[in-house]
Amino acid sequence: MSRPGQGVMVPVNGLGFPPQNVARVVVWEWLNEHSRWRPYTATVCHHIENVLKEDARGSVVLGQVDTQLVPYIIDLQSMHQFRQDTGTMRPVRRNFYDPSSAPGKGIVWEWENDGGAWTAYDMDICITIQNAYEKQHPWLDLSSLGFCYLIYFNSMSQMNRQTRRRRRLRRRLDLAYPLTVGSIPKSQSWPVGASSGQPCSCQQCLLVNSTRAASNAILASQRRKAPPAAPPPPPPPGVPPGALAVRPSATFAGAALWAAPTTGPTEPAPPPGVPPRSPSAPSGAPTPGQNNLNRPGPQRTTSVSARASIPPGVPALPVKNLNGTGPVHPALAGMTGILLCAAGLPVCLTRAPKPILHPPPVNKSDVRPVPGVSGVCRKTKKKHLKKSKNPEDVVRRYMQKVKNPPDEDCTICMERLVTASGYEGVLRHKGVRPELVGRLGRCGHVYHLLCLVAMYSNGNKDGSLQCPTCKAIYGEKTGTQPPGKMEFHLIPHSLPGFADTQTIRIVYDIPTGIQGPEHPNPGKKFTARGFPRHCYLPNNEKGRKVLRLLITAWERRLIFTIGTSNTTGESDTVVWNEIHHKTEFGSNLTGHGYPDASYLDNVLAELTAQGVSEAPAKA
């Protein structure tokens, strides 16, 4: 299926502009941690466009129009979204779509998440769904967009092709996104001591405007007073030409900030984010305590020791994009100064702490088997992969025929149970008439037999059946996990929150290979990134119970599957299959580590949802 409604981006000075005299719908989007561009709401986009018309290099306070976005500010000059309470920065973009597409009509497609809240689809997916809906297609396959989902318009549901899990979806009308024609004039630099448009009276905007004016005034004063000087010396070895050095200032002076005050006058320094001074400004040797994040190793000693001497109570902002490979991003320094320095608070920029993924090295002699679990390894091979069951026989095994069906909807085809199945004419099976209705034995939910045959035929065909309403599993559910090896053993280290117990380490290893008939693209090569993968459990009674069930899930090929990675967007690769694991040993910075008091209970619930419970589990 083609990908209609794809946005058009024409970058000019960091902002996208549509072609001349062509009407386009404007959608502002931000880049999430999974490298997916997520749209702001139409209300927020109208607000951003209004600010853009006033000052194309200014800042947009999102909390003015959406109370859920109070911590966020967009810097239009650098095209980044800044979160005030955490210091997190994300790129934003200004994208354009056809006025006749979903955003131009104010149509929003959303899916229901696990918490019962509604989440909007990415804009390109929303447009694709709306196009199929307008053409009255009964269903839509999203695999062409990199997602293993089917959209059923009759039942207004989304189904995962691999797990068969269904979620509700809805179509609602909202405010249409802003419309623009032609191109917008290039932005002007900030006038010193002036602001464009009427300033907002909120505290955030007062900080922005006052700091902006003060910064420009300081710059102008320095340029007037600065005597001519010799050209700056060449950069030291290892520093690329043009690398930005953070100027000494009250907020970055390190140890000098807390030294006894001097008697002589000091020149006021611009707050972070102000552009470097002109070539006529003096540039001598680095001042002691100057924080230059691009200096080679020996010169970093000063800034490290300075950071250690900062007294308690000074806020340290974790900075997530200082990787040592380039200059400090102007939006980072500028927004930090705006939010804290203008309020009279000293700031220390620090690197974000790194997650502790692995324990200290362990000798082989210190590795022990897990008590109560036989062996230290489980393997799955190709001989386990072949299973074939007749769909009609499987469905009849778990259903009882209903002679007088109730006058209600079949939740698979959304047709009345007293009428023929919606799959009549689409699927033909001997002995399964479209009007036949049956009731599942344990849960009692009623469906057309033909609908259940269609659902089973589109799944793993492993002889098990899962009720689409209550998710009850009939038979032994198996997955599509590729062949591999699972190892498990005890190591003499403790997890955070479990100081008195040792740790169970699980090592999964799956090599690359060729997809089988049960996979999305049979005969095509699949990749296996990040293997071997190390996971951790506490060695207590509940941790060992989780391990035994994970072994059962591994043997049933339920731990991994082949699909599209949510992190990288890569398709035809090995991904986790809705059973969460803890891959962070000594911290919980990513949410995949310890301490996490509810993890063991949560993973037991996930295993139960996959049909893996302790009764049939065998170690």
Contact 142, 149 (CB under 8 A): yes
pLDDT of residue 428: 63
The model's pLDDT over 218-257, given as tens digits with 9 standing for 90+, comes to 455 555 555 555 555 554 454 444 443 433 333 333 333 3
Give the number of C-alpha atoms closer than 13 A to the C-alpha of residue 611, restricted to the C-beta side.
20
20 forms beta bridges with none
Q: Which residues, at least 6 apart from 10, have a Cβ–Cβ distance to it below 8 Å?
A: 16, 17, 18, 19
Residues 320, 88: contact at Cβ < 8 Å? yes
Q: Residues 193, 213: contact at Cβ < 8 Å? A: yes
Rounded-to-10 torsion of CA 485, 490, 493, 499? 120
Q: Give residue 305's pLDDT.
A: 40
Q: What pLDDT digit, counting tens, does each position of 329-379 carry? A: 545 555 665 565 555 555 555 556 788 889 999 998 999 999 999 988 998
pLDDT: which is higher, 209 or 135: 135
Q: By three-state DSSP, how is residue 473 classified?
A: strand
Q: Above 60 in pLDDT, residue 585? A: yes
Residue 11 Rama label (left phi>0; alpha psi -120 to 50; beta): beta
Q: Are strands 348-351 and 316-319 parallel, antiparallel or unpaired?
A: parallel
Other Cβ atoms less than 10 A from the Cβ of 185: the count is 8
Q: Quick one: pLDDT at residue 601? A: 94
Phi/psi of residue 297, nearest 5 degrees? -45, -55
Query: In this predicted structure, what is the pLDDT of residue 220?
Result: 54
Q: Work out the mean pLDDT of the chain and round it to a whole number.
A: 75
pLDDT value of residue 56:
81
Mean pLDDT for the stretch of residues 558-587: 92
| 602 membership: H or E segment, kind and range | helix 599-609
> How many angstroms separate the Cα of 305 from the Cα of each of 191, 341, 374, 456, 525?
39, 22, 52, 65, 51
Q: Which of 264-273, 361-370, 425-434 has the lowest mean pLDDT?
A: 264-273
438-449 confidence digits (pLDDT tens)? 999 889 999 999
Of the listed ranges 160-174, 309-323, 431-445, the one predicted with least confidence: 309-323
The C-alpha torsion from 492 through 498 and 499 to 500, rounded to 10°, is -80
Whole-angstrom Cα distance, residue 219 to residue 223?
A: 6
Higher pLDDT, 13 or 525: 525
